[in-house]
Structure 1
Amino acid sequence: MLNDFAGADKVYIACGYTDLRRGIDGLATIVQQQFQLDPFTNTLFLFCGRRRDRIKALYWEGDGFLLLYKRLESGSFQWPRSEAEARLLTPQQYRWLMEGLNVEQPKAHRPVRGLENI
């Protein structure tokens, strides 16, 4: 379900470690207080624990929160650990993350914007 999640306008990941014992209220509090973002928007928020083999996702459906939990049977997520902030992902970066790749692909083609790049 998370691999092809297309319901959200935006996807944020919480860089660094998150205590995955937290539930809906605890994760919504992190979104509001630590990241200064509104959890009641059409946004998917992703959190990862220390072992990087499981993630939790928080999503507001308009009438209540949806809490998703995914545990990999083998391997780990390539999760950014250096920052303690929320990072906005592009749809491509989200696909890379769900496929087990790093969200920063140095050899990926970057989008060209306007004629000033020619």
Structure 2
Amino acid sequence: MLDLAGGTTVYLACGATDLRKSYHGLAAIIKLKFKLDPYSRCMFAFCNRRRTSIKILQWDGSGFWILMKRLDRDSFHWPETPDELQKVTLKEMHWLCDGLSLTPKGAFEERHPKIVV
């Protein structure tokens, strides 16, 4: 089953990707271009050139899942650095899918309070 737990590692393929690619094409990009294992339990997210579609690939142990979102108007605030892989949290991935940037204004910064003994 698709793992949407908070501890899931999410990687963004920055820049544009040809989203006509399916399972094998996206897995090849992960393995050959980014030197990562597409069969790990990580999520790998890709965006098209116009920034109107996102595809997410994840292996669940028995097969690949592909999630896709296409916008009717506007565009995603996708990182533009080509040929770069960026590690983000699942929360940040939700922000991108909701039309926000990776650092939305007004969002609380995640932190861990110091324990005073």
Please say whether Structure 1 and Structure 2 have the same fold, judged by a TM-score greater than 0.5.
yes
Question: Is residue 80 of structure 1 aligned with residue 79 of structure 2?
Answer: yes
**Length-normalised TM-score, structure 1:** 0.81
| Residue of structure 2 equivalent to 1:6 | 4
Go from structure 1 to structure 2 and tell me whether the alpha carbon gap of 1:107 and 1:47 turns closer, same or farther (over 3 Å shift): same
| Residue of structure 2 equivalent to 1:57 | 56
Written as runs of structure 1 = structure 2, the 5 A alignment for 1:107-118 is 108-112=107-111
Cα distance in 1, alignment partners of residues 72 and 92 from structure 2: 22
Paired residue secondary structure (1:30): helix
- Aligned partners of 2:8 and 2:90 also within 8 Å: no
Paired residue secondary structure (2:43): strand
Paired residue secondary structure (1:20): coil
- Aligned partners of 1:44 and 1:59 also within 8 Å: yes
Q: Structure 2: any 5+ residue segments left out of the alignment?
A: none
| Residue of structure 2 equivalent to 1:34 | 33
- Percent identity of equivalent pairs: 41
**Length-normalised TM-score, structure 2:** 0.82
- What value does the CA root-mean-square deviation take over the aligned residues? 2.0
- Aligned partners of 1:34 and 1:85 also within 8 Å: no
Q: Structure 1: any 5+ residue segments left out of the alignment?
A: none
